[in-house]
Structure 1
Amino acid sequence: MECDGNKVVNNIIYGPGKNRYRYCKHIAKQRVPGLPNDLLQKGKHFILIQNPLNILSSFEKVVPPSFLELGLGDLVSIYSELCALGKPPPVIDAADLQQNPEDTLRGLCKDLDIPFQDAMLRWEAGPKPIDGLWAPWWYKSVHNSTHFASPRKYPRPFPFSFYDLLEQSLPFYNLLKRNVRQTSSLLRSPLPVPDLPVPVNAKLLAWVGDEIVPRESARVSVFDSVVQGGDAVWEGLRIFN
């Protein structure tokens, strides 16, 4: 197995060959320092994310989870670098991919300017020669599948011991999720996005609680007294003398 990152990039990813399209899966936390800039400047990139709430409980079955293992910080860094190069990558959420795989993949193919194929939606069960060394630990469910599974009706029980890690990871996930391209009407809000009288206000920052957040993240907690006790609801009686 070739271990020189530069040779892999130049000879395998961008080297000569018969295939017009080459799909390369990269794990953000395993990004090798010192690779040529061509890796970001050439080709077309997209980022797949998943809510850490759905990752952590299953992650523990293979390796103790940590912020570095989840790789969300590295994903944000890669996304920022691509944006700085003028190549903001499409971002897709695993939940959207499960809920509506065809529309999500069609939208992704459109963004990448590659043809959509029905074969993207189904596959033969069992291991593949390209699985890699980690397949016995990570790919058991994939080997038993032939298509995208429907989302769980109810979430898995979440281990309380991972709460701090979840709290640490969610801001990075939410930052990337704001850039998800929603292609299906099933994934969009039924209400139209209102026009702002002053368009520049779309980039306002708001002080909520003890932090400054972007406009779309400015929300009131469900545990706030406004929600729990209706403190913001007032009743007025009109009285004539």
Structure 2
Amino acid sequence: MIVNLISGPRNISTALMYSFARHSQIKVVDEPFYGHYLLKTGLDHPGRVETIQSMSGNTQEILAEIKEMESTNSNVFLKNMAHHHEGLDWSYLLSMKNVLLIRDPKQLIASFAQVMPHPTLQDIGLKHEADILDYLVDNGTTPIVIDSNDILANPKKGLSQLCQQIGISFEEGMLSWEKGAIPEDGVWAKYWYKNVHQSTGFAKQKTSERPLPDHCNDLYEVALPYYQKLKNYKLKHATKIQSKK
């Protein structure tokens, strides 16, 4: 099985990757389409040249590598950014277990602006997540939508529920990890993963309540409806699951 975590940046996606890397039956892969995305868009992200040189930019090669991993591992967990899927033929998603990870855009944008001072809707991925949600639902596939704040509020409960929806067993070891990098990190980790490298488990960052920069207010207003759409789907889906029990 291939589990495809689709997230925006500055969420707990890296922490989730570290968590699933601790599972005894899962192989994790860090942002396999990042190199392709940088080549396609020409964006000047931190570590751009290193990233492009470190991985294939050919999506067919990437997907073939992922399928090969699936054939030699019980389960593969992809940590992906939603905007990295832009311009791709999404039909491959229909054979994966897709998990859409969302975060309040006020927190997301304020955090992202610490690394890239003038973020755009393209950068934060919420519209891309909403578009992917529509595609999956229209094609008869039910994605899992989770809010990072729910995981942080009760990591054991949140991870147990997520594992149940994915169809794998929860393992206690997923709740913690050692400080520092893991071998699966992309070369861009030194630019983006500082907080996770200093952590040993899921914890709300003190900086998560930082104020939204004034110049990002317009972006927040544009992004909010996409977040609300995804959050409403999460709530409706959770209600359906509970009603079946």
Structure-1 separation of matches of 2:187 and 2:200: 21
Distance change (3 Å), C-alpha of 1:22 and 1:35:
same
Q: 1 or 2, which has the higher strand percentage?
A: 2
Structure-1 separation of matches of 2:140 and 2:226: 21
Could you give the per-residue CA deviations for residues 42-94 of structure 1, whole angstroms, max 9, x where no partner exists? 12111100111111222112113111101111100111111112112111101
Q: What's 1:203 paired with?
A: none
Q: What's 2:196 paired with?
A: 142
Distance change (3 Å), C-alpha of 1:154 and 1:75:
closer
Q: 1 or 2, which has the higher helix percentage?
A: 2
Q: What's 1:177 paired with?
A: 231
**Cα offset for 1:30?**
1.3
CA RMSD of aligned residues (A): 2.5
Structure-2 separation of matches of 1:182 and 1:120: 27
Q: What's 1:55 paired with?
A: 108
Match of 1:80 among 110, 134, 138: 134
**Cα offset for 1:33?**
2.6
Q: Is the 8 A contact 2:70 2:76 kept in 1?
A: no
**Cα offset for 1:41?**
1.5
Q: Which has the higher contact order (CA 8 A, sep 6+)?
A: 2
Mapping 1:129-168, distance limit 5 Å: 129-150=183-204, 155-168=209-222
1:93 to 2:147 alignment:
yes
Could you give the per-residue CA deviations for residues 189-209 of structure 1, whole angstroms, max 9, x where no partner exists? xxxxxxxxxxxxxxxxxxxxx
Structure-1 separation of matches of 2:141 and 2:184: 28
Q: Is the 8 A contact 1:28 1:74 kept in 2?
A: yes
Q: Percent identity?
A: 33
TM-score by length of 2: 0.68
Aligned length: 184
Q: What's 1:107 paired with?
A: 161
More moved, 124-133 vs 4-13:
4-13
Q: Is the 8 A contact 1:99 1:151 kept in 2?
A: no
Q: Which runs of 5+ in 2 are unaligned?
A: 1-54, 240-245
Larger radius of gyration: 1
Q: What's 1:23 paired with?
A: 77
Q: Which runs of 5+ in 1 are unaligned?
A: 189-241
Secondary structure of residue in 1 paired with 2:101: strand
Instruction: Write the letter of the residue equivalent to 2:221.
Output: E
